[in-house]
A and B are shown apart, each in its own frame.
Chain A
Amino acid sequence: MRIAVLADIHANLEALRTCLAHAEREGATQYVFLGDLVGYGADPVACLGLLADHADRGALLVRGNHDDAALGGLCETMNFVAREATYWTRAQLGSGERAFLAALPYTARRGDLLFVHADVNAPAKWEYIASSLQAGRCMDAGQARLTFAGHVHHPSLYFAAGSGVHHFQPVAGAPISLSGRRRWLAIGGSVGQPRDGNNAAAYALYDEEQRMLKYFRLPYDHLSAARKILAAGLPERLALRLQKGE
């Protein structure tokens, strides 16, 4: 089975649709959404509608910090822009959307695969996996052969070896076979708000039988997504960010 793993959608409908259409063409039959479904982008309701349809058809979803924040509470750890976006998002959501977000778990498992938004070690603390050391701790905590995470918005692949955990910078479109005898941690990048200097939407596709992982980068209509952000009165910086991908 081919599993499409989509992280950090951030209410970007244009990017989400582009990735979903691509995954379908690539033969994906299982979908996993790695949290931060909303926040920053101008289409939280439309995106959640689309994701709820997928959930009904068996997709797995986990909760991200922005999904958490959209449900209420103080956002004192967030920066000003994120906080503005969170207050705006809260105002858009109806009870149905809120119930959908409230039901999201922190982690999900499927066989020897483990899915989390930030870090398995303490899923509700929303730590960033920014080093091989943290990646190693995350893999140890999960005890899964292959862990998928989001949150950092940079495509990465970590793997355990004799001399510790190592980092690999994946090349878009190049298949990587993941042997069953070591642990892997894959970060597919962000669908709705790429931050690695490339404004194309990012997601990963994993073929379970072949144990083959592919990272993709897809250009999408980021101008429309940015226009909607400005029209909604969200901070201008969020629109600019989509254009530059940083």
Chain B
Amino acid sequence: MESAAHLRPGTQIAAYRVAEKLREGGMALLYQVAASDGGEAGLLKVPKLEFGSHPACYAGFEVEQMILARVAGPHVPRLLASGESDCGPYLVMEEIAGTSLAEFAAAAPLPAAEVARLGAALASALHDLHRQEVVHHDLKPSHVILRADGRAVLIDFGLAFHGHLPDLAEAESEKPLGTPAYISPEQIAGVRGDPRSDVFSLGVVLYLLATGRLPFGAPTGMGGLRRRLYFDPLPPRRVVADLPEWLQEIILHCLEVRADDRYATAAQLAHDLRHPDQVTLTQRGRRRQRAGPLVVAKRWLAALSAEPPPRKAPTAHLALAPQVLVAIDTGRGSEPLFQALRDATRRIVGGERDWRVSCVSVLEPSALTEQEDGAEIMRGLHMQRLMELHHWAQPLGLARERLRFHVLEGRDVPARLIDYARASHADHIIIGARGSSGRRRLLGSVSSRVASEAPCTVTVVRVSHSTDASTESADP
């Protein structure tokens, strides 16, 4: 029998043949393998189980195996095989082609636009993971691979938490689980399963990419770790003078000590990174100093008396912060329909704490906008639509920082809405039905196509027939 530490090229493990050793980490070994039947090649991972290795080596492997078997999509490697061989337990996963985020980090400080692009890709990947009931808990540049198409893939789930599975990682250790430089304050206190812990670690990654420095250094002892419960990092604009305020605002928003003060979801963070112009600037963005001794003393006292919050599943956290998209056809809708859309919006966001509403309209090009000076006309129409969206939202009386406004352009209205819903991780779309107009008979119903093809729940709002009849006839 061959020990996993010395798998020679050519060794057969289940349906795979070992090609070469890639890496030896503290916990596991990674090999490139080829499928014996000519199928997809992959990466073989085997835990270090020889005499003297830490019991957590196996727990980390077990957790990764359990979690990879339960997640899917473009932001995680696929699990190709797993089980027990003569050489011990193994798993084979998809080899992701791309560049490690560690390579980008090595070139930091990066320009703000590049930081935002990488951060948005990472935040989208995280939100996709959180929606599948998993918190990564060990986010850092070496655990992220950027695909050539710009999407991020998360790897190494040895410390991850799944809301529906026993927490084997936690059971193996009395110490905080995570990498010291990136770990969130609540993880240090032993809290597991809060998606906002990953948002904090992502904040550390953004800080590093933007400034080339780690906001809390890389402490080795518990005392050093606990400092981030009281002290905030040096504002990144003090390190890189020309860093835009919106980026400092986003980074420090992620790095808030209390999880409740951070972005409620990675989806909200992804949205802000993709639309810097819509970031609501507060004193965070302009801050030149760390918090003073009074704030630090308050945090210190709060940490002393802090009770661990009741454990919730990751998706239960997300449910408190739904992303709602309202599609408003300000060009053609009727006032009763606008009112009905507002009523539906109020009902849907009513009980939740950290919701956000994106008000979206699609501008279709016409003969007018396709002539020579069409671009100029389109810009005017775009601004007009934006004003109409603001006008629609005003009676809702919602806080400005909860609202986002977007005018999309394109002929295929349902496709544009669905793309937007997907990119913004919408949990719920609210859209009006226009009834049986001539236009709808000709082109098909926008709302029914959105309802059938959207990646999330869709509410189709209809006004009662008698009130709608008068506006229906006015519909061209």
Interface residues of A, Cβ cutoff 8 Å to B: 157, 159, 161-163, 166, 168, 171, 174-177, 179-182
State which of B163, B165, B173 has its C-beta within 8 Å of the C-beta of A163: B173
> Please, which residues of chain A bring their CB within 8 A of the CB of B84?
180
Query: Is the Cβ of B66 less than 8 Å from the Cβ of A168?
Result: no
- 11 A-B pairs with C-beta separation under 8 A: A157-B166, A159-B168, A161-B172, A163-B172, A163-B173, A171-B163, A171-B164, A176-B166, A177-B65, A177-B69, A181-B89
> Please, which residues of chain B bring their CB within 8 A of the CB of A176?
66, 164-166
> Please, which residues of chain A bring their CB within 8 A of the CB of B164?
171, 174, 176
Query: Is the Cβ of B166 less than 8 Å from the Cβ of A168?
Result: yes
- Cβ distance A246 to chain B, nearest Cβ, rounded Å: 21
B47's nearest neighbour on chain A, judged by CB, is A181
Residues of B in contact (CB 8 Å), total 21
Q: How far is the CA of A162 from the CA of B70 in the complex (A)?
A: 24
Interface presence of B31 (CB below 8 A):
no
Tell me which residues from 87 to 103 in chain B have a Cβ below 8 Å from any Cβ of chain A. Answer: 89
- Cβ distance A174 to chain B, nearest Cβ, rounded Å: 4
> Please, which residues of chain B bring their CB within 8 A of the CB of A180?
84
> Please, which residues of chain A bring their CB within 8 A of the CB of B166?
157, 159, 166, 168, 176
Query: Is the Cβ of B58 less than 8 Å from the Cβ of A163?
Result: no
Interface presence of B174 (CB below 8 A):
yes
Query: Is the Cβ of A166 less than 8 Å from the Cβ of B69?
Result: no
- Cβ distance A209 to chain B, nearest Cβ, rounded Å: 10
Contact with A along B146-167 (1 / 0, CB 8 A): 0000000000000000011111
For the complex of A and B, 5 pairs with smallest distance between CB atoms: A161-B171, A174-B164, A168-B166, A162-B55, A166-B171
Query: Is the Cβ of B167 less than 8 Å from the Cβ of A162?
Result: no
- Cβ distance A23 to chain B, nearest Cβ, rounded Å: 21
Contact with A along B34-64 (1 / 0, CB 8 A): 0000000000000000000001101100100
> Please, which residues of chain B bring their CB within 8 A of the CB of A171?
163-164
> Please, which residues of chain B bring their CB within 8 A of the CB of A181?
58, 62, 89
Query: Is the Cβ of A179 less than 8 Å from the Cβ of B171?
Result: no
> Please, which residues of chain A bring their CB within 8 A of the CB of B62?
179, 181-182
Q: How far is the CA of A163 from the CA of B55 in the complex (A)?
A: 10
Query: Is the Cβ of A162 less than 8 Å from the Cβ of B165?
Result: no
Given A168-B166, A168-B167, A162:B172 Cβ within 8 A: yes
Q: How far is the CA of A159 from the CA of B58 in the complex (A)?
A: 14
- Cβ distance A122 to chain B, nearest Cβ, rounded Å: 27
> Please, which residues of chain B bring their CB within 8 A of the CB of A166?
166-167, 171
Q: How far is the CA of A179 from the CA of B171 in the complex (A)?
A: 15
A162's nearest neighbour on chain B, judged by CB, is B55
- Cβ distance B330 to chain A, nearest Cβ, rounded Å: 44
Query: Is the Cβ of A159 less than 8 Å from the Cβ of B89?
Result: no
- Tell me which of A157, A162, A175, A180 has the highest count of chain B C-beta atoms within 10 A of its own C-beta: A162
- Cβ distance A229 to chain B, nearest Cβ, rounded Å: 35
Tell me which residues from 167 to 200 in chain B have a Cβ below 8 Å from any Cβ of chain A. Answer: 167-168, 171-174
> Please, which residues of chain B bring their CB within 8 A of the CB of A162?
55-56, 59, 171-173
> Please, which residues of chain A bring their CB within 8 A of the CB of B58?
181
> Please, which residues of chain B bring their CB within 8 A of the CB of A163?
171-174
Given A174-B164, A181-B58, A159:B66 Cβ within 8 A: no
State which of A159, A174, A175, A177 has its C-beta within 8 Å of the C-beta of B171: A159
> Please, which residues of chain A bring their CB within 8 A of the CB of B89?
179, 181
> Please, which residues of chain A bring their CB within 8 A of the CB of B167?
166, 168
Q: How far is the CA of A162 from the CA of B173 in the complex (A)?
A: 8
> Please, which residues of chain B bring their CB within 8 A of the CB of A179?
62, 65-66, 89
- Cβ distance B158 to chain A, nearest Cβ, rounded Å: 14
Q: How far is the CA of A171 from the CA of B89 in the complex (A)?
A: 27
Query: Is the Cβ of B66 less than 8 Å from the Cβ of A177?
Result: yes
B162's nearest neighbour on chain A, judged by CB, is A174
- Cβ distance A111 to chain B, nearest Cβ, rounded Å: 15
- Cβ distance B169 to chain A, nearest Cβ, rounded Å: 10
Q: How far is the CA of A162 from the CA of B84 in the complex (A)?
A: 21
> Please, which residues of chain A bring their CB within 8 A of the CB of B59?
161-162
Q: How far is the CA of A4 from the CA of B141 in the complex (A)?
A: 45
Q: How far is the CA of A162 from the CA of B58 in the complex (A)?
A: 10
Q: How far is the CA of A180 from the CA of B59 in the complex (A)?
A: 12
B69's nearest neighbour on chain A, judged by CB, is A177
Q: How far is the CA of A176 from the CA of B167 in the complex (A)?
A: 11
> Please, which residues of chain B bring their CB within 8 A of the CB of A177?
65-66, 69
Query: Is the Cβ of B165 less than 8 Å from the Cβ of A161?
Result: no
> Please, which residues of chain B bring their CB within 8 A of the CB of A159?
166, 168, 171
A210's nearest neighbour on chain B, judged by CB, is B69
- Cβ distance B362 to chain A, nearest Cβ, rounded Å: 39
B88's nearest neighbour on chain A, judged by CB, is A181
- Tell me which of A157, A163, A174, A179 has the highest count of chain B C-beta atoms within 10 A of its own C-beta: A179
B168's nearest neighbour on chain A, judged by CB, is A161
> Please, which residues of chain A bring their CB within 8 A of the CB of B168?
159, 161
Known contacts A161-B59, A182-B62, then 8 further A-B pairs from the complex at CB < 8 Å, ordered by chain A residue: A157-B166, A162-B56, A163-B171, A163-B172, A166-B167, A174-B164, A176-B164, A179-B89
A159's nearest neighbour on chain B, judged by CB, is B166
- Tell me which of A157, A161, A171 has the highest count of chain B C-beta atoms within 10 A of its own C-beta: A161
> Please, which residues of chain A bring their CB within 8 A of the CB of B172?
161-163
- Cβ distance A188 to chain B, nearest Cβ, rounded Å: 15
A158's nearest neighbour on chain B, judged by CB, is B166
- Cβ distance A211 to chain B, nearest Cβ, rounded Å: 9
- Cβ distance B164 to chain A, nearest Cβ, rounded Å: 4
Q: How far is the CA of A168 from the CA of B66 in the complex (A)?
A: 15
Q: How far is the CA of A62 from the CA of B157 in the complex (A)?
A: 40
> Please, which residues of chain A bring their CB within 8 A of the CB of B173?
162-163
Q: How far is the CA of A182 from the CA of B69 in the complex (A)?
A: 19
- Cβ distance B412 to chain A, nearest Cβ, rounded Å: 38
- Cβ distance A35 to chain B, nearest Cβ, rounded Å: 25
Q: How far is the CA of A157 from the CA of B166 in the complex (A)?
A: 8
A167's nearest neighbour on chain B, judged by CB, is B166
- Cβ distance A13 to chain B, nearest Cβ, rounded Å: 32
B84's nearest neighbour on chain A, judged by CB, is A180
- Cβ distance A118 to chain B, nearest Cβ, rounded Å: 23
A181's nearest neighbour on chain B, judged by CB, is B58
- Cβ distance B275 to chain A, nearest Cβ, rounded Å: 36
B172's nearest neighbour on chain A, judged by CB, is A162
